[in-house]
Amino acid sequence: MLKTVFIVFGLLCSPAAFALVPPDYQEPPSDLTAEIEAGFQLNTGNTESSSFNGRTKLVYDTTQTRQEGTVKAYFAADNEKTTAEKYDLQLQSNYKISGGYFFGRGDFTWDQFGSYTRISTVSGGYGFDAVSTSKTNLSLEIGPGYRYNLPIATDDAPIPEANKDLILRTAAKFEMKLQEYTSLNADLTAETGEDNNTLTLDMSYKNTLFQDWAFKIGVNVKYTEVVPEGSKQTDTITTFNLLYTFQ
């Protein structure tokens, strides 16, 4: 019996056994990528407080299509009450063609303390990579859409009436790898409508700490031209998060 154990152990430790799984073996790349992050946030604008936030992003990228979904949650409270509660859902589907892609997109926001408590935007159009290198990528998108805005209740309008508007959406998505372990992302989106215009800048700086863990600083600035009385036109959210990537 003891002799048999030594024989099996010797076979497992032989070079032929190690050749089955090379030391530098890596799993083949997956079409699915997921990011989960959470951390501290600082709000200024219509809400001023500090608390925690979370974000989950899923991307399924193949040779023909790209599906992307992002969920964001923001929550803050002081000693007396909740001061911020906001949820964002972003969905986009791209169909790739030679030289670019066609896309369909939906943006949905529930913001209890924002100038608009419900925002729904559905759009579609065409996008392409204006710059595409190993370190830098710039994508441009344009297309028509439809936007639904429900203003926050005020003393003058306790039961607000929703605004419904046809819009033209334009977007620029910029990604740059600064160094081996650092990267910069910036998305600029403009929605132009007959009744209202918005401009949103979403920037983030990511520094990989080790393997799939990274530290991320994010800034989201949104300007709304027409807001209810007593609301500010600009909302800013600054986040400091720990991010984990599944690949």
Q: Where are the domains of the chain?
A: 33-246
Query: pTM score, two decimals?
Result: 0.83
Q: CA nearest 47: which of 152, 165, 192?
A: 152
* 208: number of Cβ within 10 Å: 17
* C-beta separation of 106 from 127 below 8 A: no
Q: Which two tokens stand for residue 164?
A: 């419904």
For the cut 60, the answer to whether the pLDDT of residue 23 exceeds it is no
Structure confidence by residue, pLDDT tens digits, 153-199: 887 778 889 999 999 999 999 999 999 899 999 999 999 999 999 99
Q: Top-level CATH class of 33-246?
A: mainly beta
110 conformational bin, left if phi > 0, alpha if psi -120 to 50, beta if neither: beta
Q: Which two tokens stand for residue 208?
A: 């990989």
Q: Which two tokens stand for residue 59?
A: 């991307």
CA 179/CA 126 separation, integer angstroms: 31
* C-beta separation of 214 from 205 below 8 A: no
CA 227/CA 234 separation, integer angstroms: 10
Q: Which two tokens stand for residue 192?
A: 């132009």
Return the top range by mean pLDDT from 13-27, 37-51, 85-99.
85-99
Q: What is the DSSP letter of 27?
A: P
32 Cβ contact list (under 8 Å, min separation 6): 58, 59, 60, 246
CA 72/CA 43 separation, integer angstroms: 15
Q: Which two tokens stand for residue 133?
A: 């290198």
23 Cβ contact list (under 8 Å, min separation 6): none
pLDDT at 197: 97
Structure confidence by residue, pLDDT tens digits, 200-222: 999 999 999 988 999 999 999 99
